[in-house]
Amino acid sequence: MTAEHPATTTAAAAATTAAAAAAGSVAALDAALIGCRACPRLVAWREEVGAVKRRAFADEVYWARPVPGFGSATAPLVIVGLAPAAHGGNRTGRAFTGDPSGDVLFAALHDLGLATRPESIARDDGTELVGVRITMPVHCAPPDNKPTTAERDACRPWMARELALTGPTTRVIVALGAFAWQTLLPVLADAGWRVPRPRPAFGHGAEVELDHESGRFRTRLVGCYHPSHRNVATRTLTPEMLREVLGRAAGLAGLPATGAGADARGVG
């Protein structure tokens, strides 16, 4: 029987909450986030992966820290994934960068004019997002891509603060997969968004309109299958399906239609 790591200690959880709450900007939040060590199991895993490495990346220095969001803090379209991949984001230090899921996602974003390049391979590759920010509810790579519920909850203050800071300019949030969807709903509710009850179910293409209790903001939550290797290999999610949902989301977010796949923005 293996010893279990606690997801986090009470003191670490309190420190996470305080550090996230103290961030007055997304840049400050990202800077604080990358020093987080609240989850012992995930800290051990991300660092072990970074030390052992995959043979193909043996010459690289892995990031091996929490991976912050990527893209403008005022982007009208926010895409929320799951967690960094062990040899993707955990290696490169940037969300959906250097792994097969990122290849699929960035090809679609570029096709829609939402990324300047069709691939995302390294932090310094020059790729930029256009009107899009990508983030995730768990910022450290988990074993088997499966964070525990306790780890998800431990990371929640970072996402809650990020959404509070970006909320005034966010028009659409795309949740990549049921995990992101289910994680987002309570965070959005806590951040003052009126989330229907019973909570809306995740589905590919599902769409929920959310008003902020302040009456000043409105956003839409859109569901999309995660571009994981399994979903793509089984054709649960095809490039066309991904482009259709992202294109619709971009149109709803008011982003100008450019790129070869701009005609995917048929619903507004």
| Cβ atoms of residues 245 and 261 within 8 Å | no
The β-bridge partners of 209 are 220
Could you tell me whether strands 218-224 and 172-176 are parallel, antiparallel, or unpaired per DSSP bridges?
parallel
Residue 10 CB, nearest distance to ligand SF4 (Å)? 13
Torsion angle of alpha carbons 52, 6, 228, 165, nearest 10°? -110
Q: Which residue stretches of the chain are H helix? A: 10-22, 26-33, 40-52, 89-92, 100-111, 149-166, 178-190, 229-233, 239-252
Residue 176 CB, nearest distance to ligand SF4 (Å)? 17
Letter string b/e over residues 15-39, b meaning 16 or more CB atoms within 10 A of that residue's CB: bbbebbeebeebeebbebbeebbbb
Could you tell me whether strands 218-224 and 207-211 are parallel, antiparallel, or unpaired per DSSP bridges?
antiparallel
Joined tokens for residue 43: 């800290």
Q: Which is nearer to ligand SF4, 86 or 210 (CB)?
A: 86
Residue 102 CB, nearest distance to ligand SF4 (Å)? 19
Residue 22 CB, nearest distance to ligand SF4 (Å)? 15
Q: Which is nearer to ligand SF4, 138 or 241 (CB)?
A: 138
Residue 20 CB, nearest distance to ligand SF4 (Å)? 9
Q: Which is nearer to ligand SF4, 21 or 260 (CB)?
A: 21
Q: Which is nearer to ligand SF4, 91 or 243 (CB)?
A: 91
Q: Which is nearer to ligand SF4, 32 or 130 (CB)?
A: 32
Footprint of ligand SF4 on this chain (CB under 6 A)? Answer: 16, 33, 36-39, 42-43, 66, 138-140, 151, 154-155, 158
